[in-house]
Amino acid sequence: MAVLILALAASCLITSEAAKYNGQQQLTAIRGALKSKGYKKFDAFLESTGFIKSLLPVLNDWNVTVLAPVDFAWNTNSAKADMADKKKAPQIIGYHFIVGKRTFKEMLKYKTGTEMVTLNYQMKILNVRAASGVVRLGPSIGAKYTGKISKPGVFNGKINIVHGVDTVIRPPWYQGIKGGK
């Protein structure tokens, strides 16, 4: 399968003014960037999976002060067709945020059918406070959590944080990604 990499740099770079923003305002900026670039269906997908709701307490708790341009990249030979299909979505989506002087990257992998949705945050922060979930100390390779989802695309469980050299946040139903960390 040919690999199609689509990259989008949204023009909504938030300056130091964002210091007074709360998590909801940060999310509004993210979603505004999505919609302004024609990704309304994708924004609706993120909301339907529970991703938007799960990200809000994280943004609130970490006091995001600067939101970098949003980047998207996914692996599919028919991204637009997939997005038009309610049963499909881009396989890999990445956001880049700046939390103070520290950067974190989160990725959401979505597969159709009986496959699970995998929410995977990666960052380099040694000391963070979890707004929701369990904090565990570990190496750069994050611990694996088991659980289940009621149906593909629906989150079930709290976000868990694993932090060490590289911080990885995964849902409790995370079961690993082949070939990944």
| Whole-structure pTM value | 0.31
Its sign, for the CA torsion 83, 86, 91, 93, is: positive
Domain boundaries, given as residue ranges, for the chain = 16-170
The model's pLDDT over 113-171, given as tens digits with 9 standing for 90+, comes to 222 233 333 322 222 232 223 323 222 223 333 333 233 223 333 333 332 222 233 33
> Per-residue pLDDT tens for 44-86?
656 665 656 655 655 554 443 323 222 333 333 333 444 444 3
Assess whether pLDDT exceeds 60 at residue 43.
Answer: yes
